[in-house]
Amino acid sequence: MSIFKSCDVRGIYNGELTPAFAFDFGRAVGTMLQGGSVVVAGDVRPSTPRLKGALIEGLISSGCYVADAGLVPTSALYFAQDWLSVDGAVMVTASHNPPGYNGFKLKLGQWPIFEEGLQTLRTHIENEDFRQGQGYWNRADVLQAYQSQIEQHFDLGQSLRVVVDAGNGCMSRIAPETVRRVGHTVIERFCEIDGRFPKRDPNPAVAAHVAGLAEQVLAEEADLGIAFDGDGDRVVFVDDKGRIQAGDRSLVLFIRQRLPSAQTTGERTVVYDIKCSSVVKEEIERWHGVAQVERSGHAFIKRTLMKKKAGLAGEISGHYFFGELQRDDALFASLLMLQILSQSGQPLSTLMDDIQQYAITPDLRLPCSPEKRSAILADLQAAFADHEITTVDGVRVDFERGWALARPSVTEPLITLRFEGRTEADLQAIQAEISGRVPALGRLLGTNSGS
């Protein structure tokens, strides 16, 4: 079953992902929870109601008590698990994927699920090994309590002008309302729920998808633009000059806001994914924090946040995690960014211009068979044995003035490359050295045609 990914289940609706599968998936989750309690919610996609209904039927047939939270952002579902004191949580969503996709994000207990847990679920389904029982369900209204929990962390400061782009997704109603409730003026963009995502792609981390937001921020003379993904757990910020800000640069502002007052080692620990610019680690160390690099992926970052009792974590994709919540929360991150701007009295463009900017590539996703990919990663590690190597996620080679990263895709026959240099010349030199020492990578990059 190719729909089982490293941290969740995701695929094309009515391909491998059907209501019949959702029913069996619910039975498998209920079996692993031994007929315990679980909160379920869903995103805005047209296929979500049928999948969620079948999922709930499967959970009930295994003896579970099910609390149906309805249509909420994924972060509100995670909140609901703690608020309702239930054993597990399942979100029907394909996150930032196109509308034809759907899937499941889940927690069994307090920890995020990984490959091992997903494999156990898969085995239950393949063997039709399910617990039998008779559970029941009811509705659970969690949004008001969720909003109150988020809002209590923020004081009303200087009122700002904000364009909120929900992309017709799960944040369409709750985000504009919450931002207004903490005192800001909101201009709504694509805040009508529509799971076909007719106005823009649900992935805001791709600059082209939020170019219209950047234009509207300028046209409205707004202080900030905020763009959410389909299930509302990732956020991208646009500054007052209409510049789309990378996730790691926004993380630097959160570091500057939180580390100066951090007291414990945990509070001073910041977890970040391996794709982030070196400026993140430098900023953490500048404020006497503890830098903790981790594999890219929501579940991996969250697990390390919890293990280290870290105060803050972030991914370049726009996931931000907070120690006081013990989870990621895009709405919390949005209010925090607004608080930083309100308290500083400076525009976001000025704050961002104060952050060091290095030359960095986007992810270079290149076709590569699994066999060749494994050989390339081994060759890269061997060729640069005289350098500092990090293997938490693929192979990263650190240079005096930058780094190179090669990561295997877990879902496609691809290898993903990323490079950073202190300057553009440093970046080019690092790519050239990688190509020279690892000819197979050079051929992929198109910079070593003579090999």
Decide if 445 contacts 451 (C-beta within 8 A). Answer: no
Decide if 21 contacts 9 (C-beta within 8 A). Answer: no
The pair of structure tokens assigned to 277 is: 């610019």
Whole-number Cα distances in Å, 439 to 267, 379, 410, 424: 44, 9, 23, 22
Q: Treating both helix axes as pointing N-terminal to C-terminal, what angle do 330-344 and 74-84 enclose, rounded to 10 degrees?
A: 100
Distance CA 247, CA 237 (A): 8
Decide if 382 contacts 440 (C-beta within 8 A). Answer: no
Catalytic status, residue 303: no
Of residues 90, 81, 85, 34, the one with CA closest to residue 62: 34
Of residues 390, 400, 375, 428, the one with CA closest to residue 275: 390
Lookup result for tokens 């049928």: 50
Catalytic status, residue 45: no
For residue 264, count CB atoms less than 10 angstroms from its CB and return exposed for 0-12, middle for 13-18, buried for 19 or more: exposed
Query: What does the angle CA 257 – CA 357 – CA 299 come to, to the nearest 5 degrees?
Result: 60
Decide if 108 contacts 117 (C-beta within 8 A). Answer: yes
Of residues 335, 5, 366, the one with CA closest to residue 149: 335
Choice among 61, 62, 75, 95 that is catalytic: 95
Backbone angles phi, psi at 203, to 5 degrees: -105, 105
Choice among 184, 319, 396, 407 that is catalytic: 319
Q: Do β-strands 290-294 and 269-273 pair in parallel, antiparallel, or remain unpaired?
A: parallel
What is the DSSP secondary structure assignment for residue 47, as one 8-state letter? T
Distance CA 417, CA 300 (A): 20
Catalytic status, residue 95: yes
Secondary structure, 3-state, 347-406: CHHHHHHCCCCCEECCCEEEECCHHHHHHHHHHHHHHCCCCEEECCCCEEEEECCEEEEE
What is the DSSP secondary structure assignment for residue 112, as one 8-state letter? B
Of residues 315, 311, 260, 308, the one with CA closest to residue 288: 260
In this structure, which amino acid lies at residue 154?
A: F
Distance CA 183, CA 228 (A): 20
- Enclosing H/E stretch for 41: strand 37-42
Active site residues: 10, 95, 319
